[in-house]
Amino acid sequence: MKTSSQRTVWREGREGSDELAEEVPVAFEYNGISHAVMLATPADLEDFAVGFSLSEGIVAGRGDIFGIEVAEAANGITLQIEIAGGDFMRLKERRRSLAGRTGCGLCGTESLTQVLRDIAPLPGRTEFPVEALYAGMAALPARQALQQATGAAHAACRVTRDGCVGLVREDVGRHNALDKTLGAIVREGIDASVDALIITSRASLEMVQKAAALRIGTLAAVSAPTAAAVRQAQQLNLALYGFLRGERCVAYTEPLRAEAAA
């Protein structure tokens, strides 16, 4: 499916054209059972399937995903994901419906106990160089093809300690973009535990949980984090940055990291 399409528009009374980002319903189906429907950009769907499955704790590891089929239909796309029997049994026990809006995050959660997931804190680690975040943020816009064409897409990417950007994924939903990048990291077999993630959005509690679930210890957002995200990052020993713009940012966890970002 196309990720964007042209539409006739009128600017100040003059007819022209505009490129619009596509969003379609994407259904996640595990072992033949429907689990969630998200509105998303129809690209990098295998990455989306892997990233969502792992970051949501549906499977314990990449090896528990046995197969992914992308089934297109007139009314949307179904990701048919085959997972290990033990994971599927746990999924049925805590099954929730996420018929949601674009990158809805926690909408549809059935109980308060499902919001704060049981994620082990990250181990102590070497501070991520803030200069690498600046370099990554400077390089990212040139890699955002859909955003440049439409102005309607979020992005997430991996940044290494020397400031190199890779595995840029875009989506109309910020959670979706992050899941796609996380899935790409796993599918490439990359150990990203010493790397960082940059997201072109605010940082919510669930985005902190997604990064920590895949054992990535640094998350930097272009906009602000929420208070809940900061509290969760502190509890999970994750370095959280916001307002990453130019060569400035705000550090929200750990004094040493805050001094490095000043």
Q: Which residues are catalytic?
A: 104
| Cα gap 226→204, rounded to integer Å | 6
Amino acid making up residue 210: K
Contact between 98 and 36 under an 8 Å Cβ cutoff? The reply is: yes
Residue with tokens 């085959």: 82
Q: Are strands 65-73 and 165-171 parallel, antiparallel or unpaired?
A: unpaired
User: Number of C-alpha atoms within 13 angstroms, CB side, residue 233?
Assistant: 26
Tell me 62's DSSP state: G
| Cα gap 248→232, rounded to integer Å | 23
| Cα gap 76→79, rounded to integer Å | 10
Residue with tokens 């992050």: 178
